[in-house]
Amino acid sequence: MARSTSSRVPRIVEANFVGSSPKPEHLPDPVGVEIAFCGRSNVGKSSLLNALMLRRNLARTSNTPGCTRQIAFFQARASDGTVVRLVDLPGYGYARRSKSERISWGNLVEEYLLARPTLAAVVALVDVRRGVEADDEDLLNLVTAPARVPRPPLGVLLVATKLDKLPRSAHTPALQRIRRQSQRPTLGFSVKDPDTHDRLWQELRRTIGFTTTAG
Ligand code: GTP
Ligand code: MG
Protein backbone atom coordinates (compact mmCIF):
# COMPACT_ATOMS: atom_id res chain seq x y z
CA MET A 1 0.00 0.00 0.00
CA ALA A 2 1.25 3.52 -0.77
CA ARG A 3 2.38 5.46 2.30
CA SER A 4 1.68 9.03 1.36
CA THR A 5 2.85 10.57 4.64
CA SER A 6 5.76 8.25 5.45
CA SER A 7 8.44 10.64 4.23
CA ARG A 8 7.40 13.12 6.92
CA VAL A 9 7.71 10.80 9.91
CA PRO A 10 11.00 9.31 11.10
CA ARG A 11 10.76 5.51 10.90
CA ILE A 12 10.88 3.27 13.96
CA VAL A 13 14.20 1.43 13.75
CA GLU A 14 14.15 -0.40 17.08
CA ALA A 15 11.45 -1.39 19.56
CA ASN A 16 11.65 -3.45 22.70
CA PHE A 17 9.70 -4.53 25.75
CA VAL A 18 10.90 -2.73 28.90
CA GLY A 19 8.82 -4.41 31.61
CA SER A 20 5.33 -4.76 33.03
CA SER A 21 3.62 -4.76 36.38
CA PRO A 22 0.16 -5.37 37.85
CA LYS A 23 1.07 -3.13 40.81
CA PRO A 24 1.84 0.63 40.87
CA GLU A 25 4.80 0.13 43.21
CA HIS A 26 6.63 -2.19 40.80
CA LEU A 27 6.60 -0.14 37.61
CA PRO A 28 9.84 0.39 35.66
CA ASP A 29 11.77 3.51 36.72
CA PRO A 30 10.30 6.70 35.25
CA VAL A 31 12.81 7.67 32.57
CA GLY A 32 12.40 9.45 29.25
CA VAL A 33 9.07 10.47 27.74
CA GLU A 34 6.01 8.24 28.08
CA ILE A 35 2.78 8.12 26.07
CA ALA A 36 0.00 5.99 27.58
CA PHE A 37 -2.69 4.20 25.57
CA CYS A 38 -5.95 3.43 27.26
CA GLY A 39 -9.45 2.31 26.39
CA ARG A 40 -12.10 -0.36 26.75
CA SER A 41 -11.03 -4.01 26.61
CA ASN A 42 -10.73 -5.27 23.05
CA VAL A 43 -10.71 -1.74 21.55
CA GLY A 44 -7.35 -2.50 19.91
CA LYS A 45 -4.70 -0.95 22.21
CA SER A 46 -2.11 -3.71 21.88
CA SER A 47 -2.73 -4.04 18.13
CA LEU A 48 -2.23 -0.30 17.66
CA LEU A 49 1.02 -0.38 19.66
CA ASN A 50 2.37 -3.21 17.52
CA ALA A 51 1.47 -1.26 14.38
CA LEU A 52 3.21 1.88 15.70
CA MET A 53 6.32 -0.14 16.60
CA LEU A 54 6.30 -2.10 13.32
CA ARG A 55 6.26 -5.35 15.29
CA ARG A 56 3.83 -8.19 14.83
CA ASN A 57 3.30 -9.26 18.42
CA LEU A 58 5.53 -7.33 20.82
CA ALA A 59 2.43 -6.18 22.73
CA ARG A 60 0.27 -9.24 23.23
CA THR A 61 -3.08 -9.11 21.46
CA SER A 62 -6.07 -11.38 21.83
CA ASN A 63 -9.61 -12.11 20.70
CA THR A 64 -10.47 -12.56 24.36
CA PRO A 65 -11.36 -9.27 26.05
CA GLY A 66 -9.41 -8.51 29.20
CA CYS A 67 -6.16 -10.00 27.91
CA THR A 68 -3.89 -7.23 29.18
CA ARG A 69 -4.10 -6.91 32.97
CA GLN A 70 -0.77 -5.29 33.63
CA ILE A 71 0.75 -1.98 32.62
CA ALA A 72 3.28 -2.85 29.93
CA PHE A 73 6.12 -0.54 28.86
CA PHE A 74 7.76 -0.52 25.43
CA GLN A 75 10.53 1.64 24.07
CA ALA A 76 10.74 2.76 20.46
CA ARG A 77 13.66 4.50 18.77
CA ALA A 78 13.15 6.39 15.52
CA SER A 79 15.60 6.95 12.67
CA ASP A 80 16.26 10.52 13.90
CA GLY A 81 17.51 9.12 17.25
CA THR A 82 14.43 10.16 19.29
CA VAL A 83 13.28 7.65 21.89
CA VAL A 84 9.81 7.37 23.38
CA ARG A 85 8.19 4.93 25.77
CA LEU A 86 4.76 3.60 24.79
CA VAL A 87 2.65 2.33 27.65
CA ASP A 88 -0.15 -0.24 27.22
CA LEU A 89 -2.70 0.21 30.01
CA PRO A 90 -5.07 -2.63 30.98
CA GLY A 91 -8.51 -2.23 29.38
CA TYR A 92 -11.69 -1.34 31.25
CA GLY A 93 -15.36 -2.16 30.78
CA TYR A 94 -14.86 -5.91 30.78
CA ALA A 95 -18.02 -7.22 32.44
CA ARG A 96 -16.61 -10.54 33.61
CA ARG A 97 -14.19 -8.98 36.09
CA SER A 98 -14.64 -9.46 39.81
CA LYS A 99 -15.17 -6.43 42.05
CA SER A 100 -11.69 -6.81 43.57
CA GLU A 101 -10.14 -6.94 40.09
CA ARG A 102 -11.95 -3.74 39.17
CA ILE A 103 -10.69 -2.02 42.31
CA SER A 104 -7.10 -3.07 41.66
CA TRP A 105 -7.48 -1.92 38.02
CA GLY A 106 -8.70 1.48 39.26
CA ASN A 107 -5.85 1.88 41.75
CA LEU A 108 -3.21 0.89 39.23
CA VAL A 109 -4.45 3.10 36.39
CA GLU A 110 -5.24 6.09 38.62
CA GLU A 111 -1.86 5.96 40.34
CA TYR A 112 -0.08 5.69 36.99
CA LEU A 113 -2.03 8.48 35.26
CA LEU A 114 -1.89 10.98 38.11
CA ALA A 115 1.49 10.27 39.69
CA ARG A 116 3.83 9.35 36.85
CA PRO A 117 6.30 12.22 36.39
CA THR A 118 7.42 11.04 32.94
CA LEU A 119 3.91 10.78 31.47
CA ALA A 120 3.60 13.39 28.70
CA ALA A 121 0.51 12.35 26.75
CA VAL A 122 -2.48 10.04 26.91
CA VAL A 123 -4.18 8.48 23.91
CA ALA A 124 -7.76 7.42 24.62
CA LEU A 125 -8.93 4.74 22.19
CA VAL A 126 -12.59 4.26 21.30
CA ASP A 127 -14.08 1.84 18.77
CA VAL A 128 -15.16 4.00 15.81
CA ARG A 129 -18.50 2.13 15.75
CA ARG A 130 -19.23 2.74 19.46
CA GLY A 131 -17.94 6.26 19.98
CA VAL A 132 -17.36 7.76 23.43
CA GLU A 133 -19.20 5.81 26.14
CA ALA A 134 -19.65 6.40 29.89
CA ASP A 135 -16.49 4.45 30.83
CA ASP A 136 -14.47 6.50 28.35
CA GLU A 137 -15.80 9.74 29.85
CA ASP A 138 -14.71 8.51 33.31
CA LEU A 139 -11.24 7.85 31.96
CA LEU A 140 -11.05 11.28 30.29
CA ASN A 141 -12.12 12.91 33.55
CA LEU A 142 -9.37 11.06 35.38
CA VAL A 143 -6.81 12.21 32.82
CA THR A 144 -7.78 15.84 33.34
CA ALA A 145 -7.71 15.61 37.17
CA PRO A 146 -4.82 17.44 38.89
CA ALA A 147 -1.55 15.50 38.85
CA ARG A 148 -0.03 14.42 42.17
CA VAL A 149 3.50 15.17 40.98
CA PRO A 150 5.03 18.18 39.25
CA ARG A 151 4.90 17.74 35.48
CA PRO A 152 3.76 19.69 32.40
CA PRO A 153 0.05 19.34 31.46
CA LEU A 154 -0.75 16.07 29.65
CA GLY A 155 -1.47 16.08 25.94
CA VAL A 156 -4.74 14.22 25.31
CA LEU A 157 -5.70 12.70 21.99
CA LEU A 158 -8.66 10.54 20.94
CA VAL A 159 -8.13 7.70 18.50
CA ALA A 160 -11.07 5.95 16.85
CA THR A 161 -9.97 2.36 16.16
CA LYS A 162 -11.03 -0.33 13.66
CA LEU A 163 -11.81 2.21 10.95
CA ASP A 164 -11.69 -0.63 8.38
CA LYS A 165 -14.90 -2.05 9.89
CA LEU A 166 -16.83 0.89 8.39
CA PRO A 167 -17.25 1.65 4.69
CA ARG A 168 -15.01 4.52 3.57
CA SER A 169 -18.00 6.85 3.10
CA ALA A 170 -18.82 6.50 6.82
CA HIS A 171 -15.33 7.45 8.09
CA THR A 172 -15.69 11.25 8.14
CA PRO A 173 -19.18 11.34 9.75
CA ALA A 174 -18.10 8.82 12.42
CA LEU A 175 -14.95 10.81 13.26
CA GLN A 176 -16.91 14.06 13.38
CA ARG A 177 -19.38 12.50 15.80
CA ILE A 178 -16.54 11.43 18.12
CA ARG A 179 -14.91 14.89 17.88
CA ARG A 180 -18.21 16.48 18.89
CA GLN A 181 -18.65 14.02 21.78
CA SER A 182 -15.13 14.39 23.13
CA GLN A 183 -14.30 17.99 22.19
CA ARG A 184 -10.76 16.77 21.58
CA PRO A 185 -8.50 16.18 18.60
CA THR A 186 -9.50 12.81 17.11
CA LEU A 187 -7.73 10.62 14.58
CA GLY A 188 -9.00 7.49 12.86
CA PHE A 189 -6.90 4.32 12.98
CA SER A 190 -6.87 0.90 11.39
CA VAL A 191 -4.17 -1.73 11.76
CA LYS A 192 -4.74 -2.36 8.05
CA ASP A 193 -4.02 1.22 6.89
CA PRO A 194 -0.37 2.32 7.31
CA ASP A 195 -1.30 5.92 6.47
CA THR A 196 -3.27 6.08 9.73
CA HIS A 197 -0.16 4.82 11.60
CA ASP A 198 1.98 7.59 10.13
CA ARG A 199 -0.62 10.25 10.88
CA LEU A 200 -0.83 9.07 14.49
CA TRP A 201 2.97 9.13 14.89
CA GLN A 202 3.01 12.64 13.44
CA GLU A 203 0.40 13.85 15.91
CA LEU A 204 2.08 12.07 18.85
CA ARG A 205 5.47 13.57 18.03
CA ARG A 206 3.91 17.01 17.78
CA THR A 207 2.13 16.51 21.13
CA ILE A 208 5.31 15.57 23.01
CA GLY A 209 7.39 18.25 21.31
CA PHE A 210 9.45 16.10 18.92
CA THR A 211 9.89 17.46 15.41
CA THR A 212 7.67 15.75 12.88
CA THR A 213 9.81 15.95 9.78
CA ALA A 214 12.48 13.39 8.97
CA GLY A 215 15.94 14.94 9.05
P1 GTP B 1 -7.28 -5.80 26.03
O2 GTP B 1 -5.83 -6.12 26.16
O3 GTP B 1 -8.20 -6.92 26.34
O4 GTP B 1 -7.66 -4.56 26.79
O5 GTP B 1 -7.57 -5.52 24.46
P6 GTP B 1 -6.83 -4.53 23.47
O7 GTP B 1 -7.48 -3.20 23.52
O8 GTP B 1 -5.35 -4.58 23.66
O9 GTP B 1 -7.22 -5.15 22.04
P10 GTP B 1 -6.34 -6.03 21.04
O11 GTP B 1 -5.27 -5.20 20.42
O12 GTP B 1 -5.93 -7.28 21.73
O13 GTP B 1 -7.40 -6.31 19.87
C14 GTP B 1 -8.63 -6.95 20.12
C15 GTP B 1 -9.15 -7.56 18.82
O16 GTP B 1 -9.46 -6.54 17.86
C17 GTP B 1 -8.15 -8.49 18.15
O18 GTP B 1 -8.86 -9.58 17.59
C19 GTP B 1 -7.56 -7.62 17.04
O20 GTP B 1 -7.10 -8.36 15.93
C21 GTP B 1 -8.77 -6.76 16.65
N22 GTP B 1 -8.34 -5.45 16.08
C23 GTP B 1 -7.54 -4.53 16.67
N24 GTP B 1 -7.37 -3.46 15.86
C25 GTP B 1 -8.08 -3.68 14.74
C26 GTP B 1 -8.31 -2.94 13.51
O27 GTP B 1 -7.81 -1.82 13.28
N28 GTP B 1 -9.12 -3.52 12.57
C29 GTP B 1 -9.70 -4.73 12.77
N30 GTP B 1 -10.50 -5.21 11.80
N31 GTP B 1 -9.50 -5.48 13.89
C32 GTP B 1 -8.70 -4.96 14.86
MG1 MG C 1 -4.21 -5.49 25.11
Give 172 Cα–ligand 2 centroid separation in angstroms.
Answer: 26
Q: What is the pLDDT of residues 162-176, one digit of tens each?
A: 999 999 999 999 999
Report the atom number in ligand 1 closest to the C-alpha of 192. 27
Does position 3 have pLDDT exceeding 60, yes or no?
Answer: no
What is the distance between the alpha carbons of residues 63 and 134, in angstroms, rounded to a whole number?
23
Nearest Cα neighbor of 118 from 34, 35, 25 is 34
Does position 50 have pLDDT exceeding 80, yes or no?
Answer: yes
Domain locations in the chain? 12-208
The closest residue, in CA terms, to atom 29 on ligand 1 is: 162
DSSP string, 56-124: SSSS---SSTT---SEEEEEEEETTS-EEEEEEPPPB--TT--HHHHHHHHHHHHHHHHH-TTEEEEEE
Write down the number of H helices and E strands in the chain: 5, 7
Give 132 Cα–ligand 1 centroid separation in angstroms.
Answer: 17
Query: What does pLDDT average to over the chain?
Result: 91
Does position 22 have pLDDT exceeding 90, yes or no?
Answer: no
Does position 96 have pLDDT exceeding 50, yes or no?
Answer: yes
Q: Provide the pLDDT confidence category of residue 2 given band limits of 50, 70 and 90.
A: very low
pLDDT at position 64: 65
Contact 81, 205 (CB under 8 A): no
Give 65 Cα–ligand 2 centroid separation in angstroms.
Answer: 8
| Nearest ligand, CA 96 | 1
Q: To test ligand 1's pocket by mutation, which of 40, 41, 47 has the most ligand atoms within 8 angstroms of CB? A: 47
Contact 113, 79 (CB under 8 A): no
Question: Does the CB atom of residue 166 touch ligand 1 within 6 A?
Answer: no
Q: What residues are paired with 122 via a beta bridge?
A: 36, 156
| Nearest ligand, CA 97 | 1
Lowest mean pLDDT among 33-42, 66-75, 162-171, 199-208: 66-75
Question: Does the CB atom of residue 193 touch ligand 1 within 6 A?
Answer: no
Contact 84, 32 (CB under 8 A): yes
Mean pLDDT computed over 108-134: 97
Question: Does the CB atom of residue 93 touch ligand 1 within 6 A?
Answer: no
Class of domain 12-208: alpha beta
Q: Provide the pLDDT confidence category of residue 68 given band limits of 50, 70 and 90.
A: low
pLDDT at position 94: 72
